[in-house]
Structure 1
Amino acid sequence: MTNFAFLEAEWPSLYEAAEKASNAVYPDPRTACFYARRALELAVQWMYKHDYSLLLPYQENLSALIHEPTFKKVAGEAIFNKARVIIRLGNQAVHSNSTVLLHDSLTAINELFHISYWLARTYARKEKPEPGLSFNPDELPKTTVPRQTMEQLRNLEASLREKDEKLSELLSDKSALDEELKRLRAEVAKAKEASALLTDTHDYSEAETRKSLIDLLLKEAGWPLDRAQDREFEVAGMPNEKGIGFVDYVLWGDDGKPLALVEAKRTTRDPRVGQQQAKLYADCLENQFGQRPVIFYSNGYETWVWDDSMYPPRQVQGFYKKSELELLIQRRKSRRPLSESEINSAIVERYYQTRAIRRIGEAFEKDNDRKALIVMATGAGKTRTVIALCDLLMRCNWVKRVLFLADRVALVNQAVNAFKKHLPDSAPVNLVTEKDTDGRVFVSTYPTMMKQIEEINSGQRRFGVGHFDIVIIDEAHRSVFKKYKAIFDYFDSLLVGLTATPKNEIERNTYSLFDLEPGVPTDAYQLEEAVKDGFLVPPQAVSVPLKFQRQGINYDDLSDEDKEQWESLDWGMKTEKSPIG
């Protein structure tokens, strides 16, 4: 018998991958993490194929599949987060040169066991696993096997992916599903309904999962956590009987001073319950070392950052790297007032451009806001305005690195050229064509940046959550946020949106994304004003007979790309479908 014997009857492929992971845990942790992720991939693909309640996401990779809302609803928070741990460990095994430890492979196989148990309990049509079944590490073999290299694992990953069924092709037309799959789906649905009536008494060890997630997030940010003082660091001055406390994690600078602390909550409760405890730890560390650390508190699922000398707490997607924390602390003293610094008139000279920059500066400096939305008519110089804004923020030590996002390659090229012309010292980088180049200003399309966020090299993400100090969104309309909101959730930065859409026509949701009242952007300069000031001329209407005006548009005749773009538009709450045939 093995830990995964209950899978063999109904999930032989999953059982085989789980056994390969089990056999490699001790002799080859890297390979064990690889096969644990492979087993997870097979389990998730099986679910999408057989559970009709799951909807395919925009992309078909494993991360996108588990983040799809219908999957998270079916699997629940515990299984979703265990999948996150396995994916991260699997990615580390294939893409990181750093050592994969025995602790990592044991974590991966343990989490895979819980997911496999849940899968069998939920979907098994025959015999379900015993309620009291638990993972037994003593059943893991300790034999010696040849270790696989990263290159071998990457080649294996590619070959396995080629053999996998393409879910998008298999499930694209529900009416065309073969009779066998329809029968299996009906059986699975029946088994799932029966399982839902039974109480799940299995111990899914959620506290261990939370700790694993925190460790992985810290390691992805470049914190090895390999010294005694990194964990459970003792501090004096706590308001308790002994006056002693133990900080879960301390992130140290090269000078031996604390850059940040992490308070880890080991319950499903909101991590913010640890806010006051973390503040007391920060007080103790400041008294001992003369430097106040940045505060993080997390339960592994949600993480909050609090630099209480500058901003209120806010939720983030991970932890800052060492260099990013050093910048945060250094800016406490070096940041200069924006209102007292001149705007570069060689970049912008029109009154409405300088007014927009000043209003953004007031929002950031006076109101302590982190988001701003500018409405400016097409042709009025939006790009030059934000270049001058970046110049001001850089000179005043508010910003070091900038991300400028546009929805088309042509606009990326245009923005890069504008930065090179007006702010050449910023070393602008076109991420579409210069993926490995470094600089201070990065210009990218949304899909390119999505891929960059997911990329991990040597166990670390190239762009950490704190890499960019400001993100600028060109043409900030709702469809961008609907499709690429993950980018703005990921980066913990100042955010500036640009749009030519009149302020009374911008969707309410766009304003809420910038924490603004509907109809009240940070600043606006619209077409009517630009025409009145003589900077723009009124539009001229030209009648051009077009095919779609004469014959209409048929949805079925559109390309897949056009269909996707059409479906991303907001047709309003009253319209259930797009107004074409």
Structure 2
Amino acid sequence: MKSVNFEFLRPGNELLANLAGLAEAVLHIDPGSALTRLRSFAEELTKAIYKEELLPRMPQSSFYDLVKNPVFVDCVSKPLVHQINFLRIQGNDTAHGAEGDLRNAQLALKTAYQLAMYMAIKYYGTAQASIPAFAEVKDPTAMLASLQKTVSSYEKELNQQQEALQSVMDKLEQERTRHLDKVDPPAKPDQQKRQQQSQQVADSLQWNEAKTRALLIDAMLLQAGWDVSNPAQVGQEVEVDFPGNVSGKGRADYVLWGDNGQPLAVIEAKKSGNVSLQAGREQARMYADSFERMGMQRPVIFYSNGYETFIWDDKQYNTYRPVYGIYSKDSLEYLAYQRQYRVPTLEKHNPELSIADRPYQIEAIKTVAAHFQQQRRKALIIQATGTGKTRVAIALAELLLRTGWAKRVLFLCDRKELRVQADDAFKQNLPSEPRCVIGETGKVDQTARIYIATYPGMMNRFAQLDVGFFDLIIADESHRSIYNKYRWFALDIACPGSGNQRTNFPFLFARRPYPWQTPPLAIGMPKPLPRENFTMSRSTASQMKRIFRPPKGRK
């Protein structure tokens, strides 16, 4: 398919030119589909770089794995990684239920054009002066009317072309991965040389790490519903009192304002690298101190390089944690509300006895309450069949809602039958709380307080919600669902890890960015040990350790 802006790339990589052309074709008709196709463009471009640079990778590596691979990161410029990651994140959201915005899709298309210029100059011998300037893509609706074609028939043709391209990509991927086991990573000096060469091309295109970082952070703000162009919502380079500077003044990169004129959050943008990011945390903390000295409320702290983002609500928690994006105004306002009205001594409050009244149920609820009260954000409840795990979960949810610890609760289960049972249980025990069963319609009702979903249902819709939407997420029957098929998704939602992305559960391991960061509650059993002929005398040391492992902190 002929493209508007990417024909200069066709002699070197026809597949990339076709993928970009398909994204252009649906830009005005379906911006969400355009973003999804541009994600495919970015993934194919990343694989092409691996091929050109002869970099090793696993045959089944995901797009995320390819971009995060340390060898890849060390061989290319930082702005290149950021722009690829921008297209990846934008496409991920539309693939998981987000509708897509024309302004975002146009921005993504311009980013793809910049990446195409990089490929043409770096690998395909194209002179920069010969590349035509970017041209805005026109809305094809009028053209379709003159040709007496409907939009649906036009989309059908484009989908057929996309399927044909997918077949080509699959064959190409098989060819590329055939001899991967024989590829060794380049030596460190060679990696540095390649990164310098990559940076030279980026410089010739006037790429700037600060600009690409701002592009990514602006996109996260737009996804969270913030109007970046409105200084009443998003302040940029906001002057604050800063005794650490000679002038006594400092400038916060971003400040998110509430309707009452109070700062809800401060965002510090920093370069890539662990040292720079943590320096950004301290700088953002000092800006938060400055707002308090100026007589304003203390804002929530975010710091990001556009690729990795962290939140630190240091008014309520001693530690920071990684998050998937920036919170919406509604979520930040609720954090400000919690600071004032959340009951600090959660453990001292009893659960609703009409829901769970057995001694062991009350003990489980109070233990989890004490756990959360001590600033821990995840818990695991293990109970035998028939002992009322669902009632414990509902009673705990009711306690957190009543005491201001939660505004919205998500109950996850692994199949529709359990979703129906959970809905009935919440209806019976919490009849006054508005519920939403996710999966019955394409849209998620954002006015409810209790949400019940299966993993596939949530997979297709979570991009409709902002990062801070849920305050408590309960994974029912976690031994079946979290550990097996939906392991990566459940861990991303229900078990946010520490800085190194590992959880405290001995059988769980999180490897991807987190759509939400909430105090989770996993309910169920660890993956069961074999039952056949099981006796202590025949047990292995590993099995015995799993059975009699003492609680953490005890010997």
Percentage of identical aligned residues:
31
* 1:330-379 CA-partner distances (Å, limit 9, x unpaired): 111111232333321110110000000111111111x2211111111111
Quote the Cα distance in structure 1 between the aligned partners of 2:399 and 2:71: 49
Q: Partners in 2 of 1:89 and 1:188 — Cα distance?
A: 32
Q: 2:461 — aligned with what?
A: 452
Q: Does the residue aligned with 2:419 lie in a helix, a strand or coil? A: helix
User: Who is 2:213 aligned against?
Assistant: 210
Match of 2:298 among 289, 292, 298: 292
**Unpaired segments of 5 or more residues in structure 1?**
58-64, 122-127, 456-461, 510-516, 523-581
User: Can you list the C-alpha shifts for 1:235-277, whole angstroms capped at 9, x where unaligned?
Assistant: 1243211111111001111111111010110343441211221
* Aligned counterpart for 1:249 among listed residues 224, 247, 254: 254
Q: Match of 1:500?
A: 525
The question of whether the paired residues in 2 share the 8 Å contact of 1:253 and 1:259 is answered with yes
Asked if the contact 2:34/2:105 (under 8 Å) is kept, the reply is no
Change (3 A) 1:306 1:157: farther
Per the alignment, in what secondary structure is the counterpart of residue 228 of structure 2? Answer: coil
Q: Which runs of 5+ in 2 are unaligned?
A: 143-150, 495-513, 531-541, 543-547
Q: Establish whether residue 343 from structure 1 lines up as the match of residue 351 from structure 2.
A: yes
Shift of 1:447: 2.4
Structure-2 change in CA distance of 1:328 and 1:113 (3 Å): same
The answer on 1:303 being equivalent to 2:309 is: yes
Cα–Cα, structure 1 residues 144 and 170, in superposed 2: closer, same or farther, change >3 Å?
closer
Query: Quick check: 2:32–2:99 contact (8 Å CA) kept in 1?
Result: no
* Contact 1:261–1:296 under 8 Å retained in 2: yes
Structure 1 Cα separation of the partners of residues 391 and 336 of structure 2: 30
Are the equivalent residues in 2 in contact too, given 1:88–1:216 (CA < 8 A)?
no
RMSD: 4.6
1:76 corresponding residue in structure 2: 73
- Contact 2:216–2:306, Cα closer than 8 Å, also in 1: yes
2:227 matched to 1:224?
A: yes
CA contact (8 A) 2:43 2:63 kept: no
SS in 2 for 1:442: strand
**CA drift at 1:140:** 0.6
Pick from 472, 476, 495: which aligns with 1:470? 472
- Residue of structure 2 aligned with 1:140, choices 133, 144, 148: 133
Residue 410 (1) aligns with residue 391 (2): no
Residue of structure 2 equivalent to 1:520: 551
Q: How does 1:100-249 map to 2 (within 5 A)?
A: 100=104, 105-114=109-118, 116=119, 121=123, 128-129=124-125, 139-140=132-133, 142=135, 145-146=138-139, 158-166=159-167, 181=175, 199-200=194-195, 201-203=197-199, 204=202, 205=207, 206-228=209-231, 230-249=235-254
Aligned pair 1:355/2:363, yes or no? yes
Pair member with larger Rg = 1
Query: How many Å separate the matches in 2 of 1:486 and 1:167?
Result: 32
Q: How many residues in Structure 1 have an aligned counterpart in Structure 2? A: 477
Report the CA distance between 1:97 and its aligned residue: 4.3
Counterpart among 451, 461, 466 of residue 442 in structure 1 = 451
Residue 520 of structure 1 aligns to which amino acid in structure 2? P
In 1, Cα distance between equivalents of 2:325 and 2:478: 25
- Output the CA distance in 2 between the equivalents of 1:390 and 1:85: 36
Corresponding position of 1:260: 265
CA shift, 1:428, in A, is 2.6
User: In the alignment, residue 350 of structure 1 is paired with which amino acid?
Assistant: R
Structure 2 counterpart SS, 1:420: helix
CA distance in 2, matches of 1:222, 1:70: 27
Task: Report Cα offsets for 1:131-166 as digits up to 9, x if no partner.
Answer: xx76x79831558845569x7896676343322334
1:419-466, Cα deviation, whole Å (9 max, x unpaired): 11111222232213244252211122222222222x4xxxxxx22111
Assess, with a 3 A threshold, how the Cα gap between structure 1 residues 393 and 37 changes in structure 2: closer, same or farther.
closer
Partner AA of 2:87 in structure 1: I
Q: State the Cα distance separating 1:416 from its structure 2 match.
A: 1.4
Q: 1:463 to 1:137 in 2, by over 3 A?
A: farther
- CA distance in 1: counterparts of 2:442 and 2:26, whole angstroms: 35
- Report the TM-score when normalising by structure 2: 0.72
Report what 1:392 is aligned to: 399
Give, in angstroms, the shift of residue 467 of structure 1. 0.5
Contact 1:400 1:440 in 2 (8 A): yes
